């Protein structure tokens, strides 16, 4: 008898989901696309343009995500950073660093281990920073632990918020049908906001079925949010990379 592929829910934004979906397909999984977040440019264009115009004067530019890199580039003239010899560029993790390189930006610093604000703050280069100026390129409503700690160390901080996250307008019919027939086998989740949006997108009567599924997240922080929301079977991937998520899916379903 032909073994049917297991269905895995992919909740990432559309523009970030395709590589993971292809990896799942290569390992005989059926990716079920249900984007729960939509990434859009912020509307405070004047403020952003003012900061972009003077960003070469900062000691550090820190990009907190690949989305921050992409949206930041969209505000630049011809998509190019003005020349700078003094400014150093930092990435919060490997995916962000890759996006920076793809867009022609240098990566002077990224965490040697991990992919969080705490990991970046542990870097030797960010210990003695009194009087240094930092521009943190991010989305609206992100965590402020990075800025608070840098300020406590004597740095001057400004934010360049270039995007915002919105709940995606998405059709959950296929997902709910699979849930109803107990044919959905796992979920991948890459942010706490995605968890919240997922529970808004899926009808409440299906929530107990969601909570019982193997759920793959990318950090202990997201795991705690998932637990608080009611999810029961949670696996933390070794990193946010698509290959690490795939490995966690395989291990989670084998264990299940």
Domains delineated in the chain: 6-36+168-255 (3.40.50.10090), 40-165 (3.40.50.10090)
Residue 91, class by beta-carbon neighbours within 10 Å (0-12 exposed, 13-18 middle, 19+ buried)? Answer: buried
CA–CA separation, 117 vs 135, rounded Å?
14
Q: Quick one: tokens of 216?
A: 């793959």
Residue 106, class by beta-carbon neighbours within 10 Å (0-12 exposed, 13-18 middle, 19+ buried)? Answer: middle
CA triplet 204, 174, 66: central angle to 5 degrees? 85
Among 93, 97, 56, 62, CA closest to 76: 56
Residue 120, class by beta-carbon neighbours within 10 Å (0-12 exposed, 13-18 middle, 19+ buried)? Answer: buried
Q: What SS3 class is residue 31? A: strand
Sign of the Cα pseudo-torsion (5, 8, 10, 16, in order): negative
What local confidence, expressed as pLDDT, does residue 1 receive? 41
Q: Dmax of the chain from CA atoms? A: 68
What local confidence, expressed as pLDDT, does residue 41 receive? 86
What local confidence, expressed as pLDDT, does residue 19 receive? 93
Which residues of the chain are modeled with pLDDT < 70? 1-4, 77-83, 142-143, 255-256
What local confidence, expressed as pLDDT, does residue 130 receive? 96
What local confidence, expressed as pLDDT, does residue 2 receive? 46
Q: Quick one: tokens of 88?
A: 């150093």
What local confidence, expressed as pLDDT, does residue 79 receive? 61
Backbone angles phi, psi at 158, to 5 degrees: -135, 150
Beta bridge partners of 86: none
Predicted TM-score (pTM) of this structure: 0.83
Q: Quick one: tokens of 124?
A: 């030797």
Among 32, 43, 98, CA closest to 69: 98
Q: Quick one: tokens of 17?
A: 């989901």
Contact between residue 255 and residue 237 where contact means Cβ atoms under 8 Å apart: no
């Amino acid at each position: 008898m032909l073994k049917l592929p297991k269905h895995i829910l992919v909740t990432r934004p559309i523009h970030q989901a395709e590589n993971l979906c292809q990896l799942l397909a290569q390992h005989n999984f059926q990716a079920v696309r249900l984007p729960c977040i939509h990434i859009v440019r912020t509307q405070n264009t004047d403020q952003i343009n003012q900061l972009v115009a003077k960003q070469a004067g900062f000691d550090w530019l820190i990009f907190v995500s690949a989305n921050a890199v992409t949206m930041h580039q969209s505000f630049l003239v011809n998509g190019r950073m003005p020349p700078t010899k003094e400014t150093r560029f930092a990435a919060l993790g490997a995916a962000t660093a890759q996006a920076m390189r793809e867009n022609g930006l240098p990566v002077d610093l990224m965490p040697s281990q991990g992919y969080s604000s705490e990991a970046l703050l542990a870097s030797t280069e960010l210990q003695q920073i009194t009087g240094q100026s930092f521009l943190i390129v991010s989305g609206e409503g992100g965590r402020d632990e990075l800025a608070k700690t840098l300020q406590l160390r004597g740095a001057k901080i400004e934010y360049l918020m270039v995007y915002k996250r919105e709940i995606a307008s998405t059709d959950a019919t296929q997902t709910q049908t699979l849930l109803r027939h107990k044919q959905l086998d796992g979920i991948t989740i890459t942010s706490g906001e995605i968890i919240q949006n997922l529970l808004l997108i899926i009808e409440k009567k299906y929530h107990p079925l969601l909570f019982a599924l193997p759920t793959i997240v990318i950090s202990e922080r997201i795991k705690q949010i998932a637990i608080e929301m009611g999810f029961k079977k949670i696996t933390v991937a070794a990193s946010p990379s698509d290959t690490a998520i795939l490995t966690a899916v395989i291990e989670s379903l084998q264990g299940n």
